[in-house]
Amino acid sequence: MATIRLGDTAPNFTAMSTEGVINFHEWLGDSWGILFSHPADYTPVCTTELGTVARYMSRFQKRNVKVVALSVDGIESHYGWVKDINETQHTTVNFPIIADEDRKVSELYDMIHPNASDKFTVRSVFIIGDDKKVKLTITYPASTGRNFDELLRVIDSLQLTAYHKVATPANWVNGDDCVVSPSIATEDIPAIFPKGFREIKPYLRITPQPNLDK
């Protein structure tokens, strides 16, 4: 079974979802994407997760990110479960959920970990850039719900560092100072980062976030 690594092109697939048949790459278009799996329909943690994603959808859209979920349950099960999610989480599911009964996508993305379960997917997360490359992977066990504020924070970092020669330090959030890329010589920093910088060590240079008007 193939392992998906950072920088790989996200495997394409065609699958049935609650919003019709999806060709993954065509569906992504020029957007970033999150593909995430949940172990099963009608389960408590997954219900809270999908409700949270629905409530956060405007935040993902602001970042040009499309979101798609997946489990190995069938499409009719998904339709019924969506009603429960909407009712219990006081929201409206506004993103597709893939029905992967044949496990084609689950196996393509290595979402079934036999030592955890030989039937159900773990809580996999794949963040995919607008170039269709895998930018981040996270795997959670079935017992631990995901933190979608953290996924938004990671997306902010990934998009910032994709277009600017910076890295983000520990616990960084959008608006915080950034680390100047080690590939930039100190004497070149003023021309690249006119907001200024602080040199803590020759390898640790700090500059204001470059894509903010401040």
Catalytic residue annotation: 46
- Cα(2)–Cα(110) distance, integer angstroms: 7
Cα 28–Cα 29–Cα 33 angle in degrees, nearest 5? 30
Residue 64's SS3 state is: coil
Distance between CA atoms of 158 and 118, rounded to whole angstroms?
33
Q: How many helices (H) and strands (E) does the chain have?
A: 7, 11
Secondary structure of residue 106 in the 3-state scheme: helix
First CA to last CA distance, the chain: 48
- C-alpha 157/C-alpha 166 separation (Å) is 9
> Hunting for tokens 């850039």 — which residue is that?
129
